[in-house]
Amino acid sequence: MPTVSKSSSVKKASSSANAKTLGDLFHEQLKDVYYAEKKILKALPKMAKGAESEELSAAFEKHRQETEGQVERLDRVFEIFGKRAQGKTCPAIDGILEEGEEVLEDFKGAPALDAGLIASAQAVEHYEITRYGTLKRWAEMLGMDDAAELLDQTLQEEIATDEALSELGDGRINERALEEASA
């Protein structure tokens, strides 16, 4: 009995007081990822500078350049959606990036530094993959095929970056993290 009355009251609330739609959700998440990409754009040079391995540093620099293009794509998606490009604070990405900064500080000069940076960077990529996957799907549902295509291009870059980071870790970096510091 209580289950029935609870579900009927939820139904009532959603059909009267609050009329937010999938378009509103799309807009919110677009602002969220726009904020995130701009923060990531600032974080990547620090990670590239901090990385011990030249390969890892180059991977971060490559992704920084890609990220510039991703911000431009988001500008175009806002345009297609008919809204001003604008970010909205995303505590999730702030937290992930803060953890990355902690790794940079706490593991400076340590054999495990790069393994930690890869883990932090992959947390960022996974965050982006979930956001872009959702946004792409919603753009399709909202009939914005051009926006969905742009979002998919970025999604594919995030997936490729995540895979490249896994390969770098498997290559040598994680093994190096097992070593004792020689100094």
| Site residues for Fe ion per CB under 5 A | 67, 70, 128, 158
Minimum CB–partner distance for residue 109 and Fe ion (Å): 26
The nearer residue to Fe ion, 110 or 149, going by C-beta atoms, is 149
Residue with smaller CB distance to Fe ion, 70 or 114 = 70
Among residues 74 and 111, whose Cβ is nearest to Fe ion?
A: 74
Give, for 149, the enclosing helix (H) or strand (E): helix 145-168
Angle at 179 between CA 175 and CA 181, to 5 degrees: 140
Radius of gyration of the chain from its Cα atoms, rounded to whole angstroms: 20
Residues near 44 by Cβ (< 8 Å), separated by ≥ 6? 60, 61, 63, 64, 67
Question: Min. distance of Cβ 179 from Fe ion in angstroms?
Answer: 29
CB of 68 to Fe ion, least distance (A): 10
Taking the C-alpha atoms of residue 169 and residue 14, their distance in angstroms, rounded to an integer, is 47
Smaller CB separation from Fe ion, 114 or 158: 158
Smallest separation, CB 165 to Fe ion (Å)? 10
